[in-house]
Each structure stands twice: as C-alpha cells, then as structure tokens.
Structure 1
Amino acid sequence: MDSQNINYQAGQAKAQTEEKASNLTDKASSAAQSTKESIQEAGAQMQAKARDTMDSVKEATGMNK
C-alpha cells in the first residue's frame, strides 16, 4: 500500500465514523424530544384529571353554586 491509498482509507474511515456519530446524535435528539412531548402530554392529562376531580368535589359538596 502506498501512502496515498492509506490516507484515502483513513479519510473514508473518518467520514464513516463522523456519519455514525451524527446519526447517533440525531437519534438521541429525537428520543429526547419524544420524551419531552410524552411528559408534557402526561402533565396535561394530570391537570385535566385534577380539574375533573375538583369539579366532582364541588358538585358533591354544593360548592359550585
């Protein structure tokens, strides 16, 4: 192997490594965004349930009048 061929192969390996790292970063970012959205959705559901519970308590105790 001559040095030009070795340099070419090293460049190829570096490019592949960078591409894999970029793909992993994209996947991690996507997973983080998905988790954030899931947490926000769960929070909204909990708020809605809390409101429903409060409304039920007010109805049951006559506080809604």
Structure 2
Amino acid sequence: MSSNQSFNAGATKGHAQAKTQEWVESAKDTAQSARDKTADVAQSTSDSAQQKREEASGFLQQTGEQVINMAQGAMDSVKSTLGVGDNNPHKK
C-alpha cells in the first residue's frame, strides 16, 4: 500500500468517524427534543385536567346549593300551607 493510499484510507476513516459522531449528536438532540415535548404535553394535560376538575367541582357545588334552596323553599311552602310555619299569620 502506498503512502497516498494509506493517507486516503485514513482520511476516509476520519471522515466516516466525524459523520458518525454528527449522527450520534443529531440523534441525541432529537431524543432530547422529543423528551422535552413529551414533558410539555404531559404538563399541559395535567393542567387542563386540574382545571376541568375545578370547574366540575364548582358546578356541583353550585347545583347542590340550588337544590338545597329549592328544597328549603318547598318546605317553607308546605309549612305555610299546613299552617305550621314560623310565619303563620293564624298562629297566636
């Protein structure tokens, strides 16, 4: 093998190693980017789920209060009709 061929072989090997290193770094960057995006999506999903839970809780709280108020009103109406309520004008 001549020195020129040896030089060319060494240069080719060096070029191949450099390209391999570039690909490895590119793959690492891509993997890191994918991990970052996955973490961002997971956080966003978690935040959205928390917001939905809070909205549902508020809705249920409001609905419960409305049901209690309606029941109280119905009870007061029945008491008034039967004459057993505190506001009975016929009570002496």
TM over 0.5: yes
Q: Which residue of 2 aligns with 1:47?
A: 68
Q: Which 5+ residue runs of structure 1 have no aligned equivalent?
A: none
Structure 2 counterpart of 1:12, one-letter code = S
Bigger RCO of structures 1 and 2 (CA < 8 A, at least 6 apart): 1
Q: Which residue of 2 aligns with 1:10?
A: 31
TM-score, scaled to structure 2: 0.67
Aligned pairs, number: 65
Q: What is the CA-CA distance between 1:4 and the residue it aligns to?
A: 1.2
Deviation digits for residues 7-63 of structure 1 (CA, Å, limit 9, x no counterpart): 011100100011001101111111111111111110000000000001000110000
TM-score, scaled to structure 1: 0.93
Q: Which 5+ residue runs of structure 2 have no aligned equivalent?
A: 1-21
Query: For the aligned residues, what is the CA RMSD?
Result: 1.0
Q: Which has the larger radius of gyration?
A: 2
Aligned sequence identity (%): 25
SS at match of 1:63: coil
Alpha-carbon distance in structure 1 between the residues aligned to 2:72 and 2:23: 74
